[in-house]
Amino acid sequence: MKPSKVLITGGYGCIGAETAKWLLRNSDVAVVICSRNVSKGRSERVFHDVDRQQLTFIEADVSDQSRLEQILRDQDITHVVHLAALQTPDCNAYRDLGLQVNLAGTQNLIEAMKASGAAIRRYIFTSSIAVYGPRSAYPPGRVQMLAEPQPVNVYGAWKLAGEHISKLFCEDTGVPTLCLRPGVLFGPGRDAGLTASPTTAIKQVALGRPFEIPFRSRQDYLYAPDVGAAVGTALLAPFDGYGVFTLPSHTLCTEEIVEALRQVADDLGQAQSFQITIGDDRVPFICDLDYEPFRSAFPSVPHTPLKQALRESLEVFLDQVSRGWLTDA
């Protein structure tokens, strides 16, 4: 069997970068980062903390199916992680572009995989908890992973459609396929989306500036490196057929994560820099999702305790401030 080589679309993004880093640190696979905009400076900055000898960076847009076919064929790709997508604010503001990137782009990649002749061994489509409805649409207690989807916005609707066409890809080709539904990511690399503000708060502590998280809502929070480990493990561990999973999370109110961040800032000698407040907005996404099916399928995936994750995140951002990389957030 030829060596494994992983294509990650949207590979500079939060999940893509953390997935690539996990793969480079925990396996012998080669990784191809695919993005619309590739630069040496960006690559060095995002991946400064890993050995980049097994990394390749290629410019491509998911709207260009022939380009995707060429990459899959020329790079001898064996595993694919599809992350390229616009986040909720851009999907709401530019709906036609969001449709072309998030849904048509997924179909383009699927058709490219089928047409390229590449021997794909695993395909992962990164979906979202936005496929579910608001928390009030479900009964109290843990919300079952396969509870009825009721997308609250076009981003969630296109992610759900992406799951359906990914399932059809699995049925058509027999390629083991997983659709993963992350919740609210926080930590290194998170910089965009409706729920990025908790991570912005950590950055502002590192910068010594005040910041207000605009919403006070109960959310399922996931530490970005844990999600990278989850995607990497699901990509390489034994699995057959089609599966859809929510990922391990911490269900917390905004007040809880802010208080934990305050304690971490104090522990790291940054108490004087802590100026974080909370607004009164609400976000529509679900929480209390059951993630035990994923833990059962992939028991080795880490689930970092909240304070440790916040501490590691703040340390990363303090280091970025010292390097002159983080000057605004």
Whether pTM > 0.85 for this model: the answer is: yes
Q: Does any domain span residue 314?
A: no
Q: Distance between terminal CA atoms of the chain?
A: 45
* Strands (DSSP E) found in the chain: 5-9, 30-35, 55-59, 79-82, 122-126, 177-181, 184-186, 211-215, 219-223, 242-246, 250-252, 276-281
Q: Does any domain span residue 268?
A: no
Q: Does any domain span residue 253?
A: no
- 328: confidence class by pLDDT, cuts 50, 70, 90: confident
Q: Does any domain span residue 22?
A: yes
**Which tens digits make up the pLDDT trace of 154-172?**
999 999 999 999 999 999 9
CATH number, residue 75? 3.40.50.720
**Which tens digits make up the pLDDT trace of 102-156?**
999 999 999 999 999 999 999 999 999 999 999 999 999 999 999 999 998 999 9
Q: Does any domain span residue 197?
A: no
Task: Give the separation between CA 247 and CA 227, rounded to whole angstroms.
Answer: 8
Q: Does any domain span residue 212?
A: no
**Which tens digits make up the pLDDT trace of 210-231?**
999 999 889 999 999 999 999 9
pLDDT at 195: 84
- Domain that residue 71 falls in: 5-185+223-248+284-303
State yes or no: pLDDT of 70 exceeds 80. yes
Domain count, the chain: 1
Q: Does any domain span residue 238?
A: yes
Q: Does any domain span residue 106?
A: yes
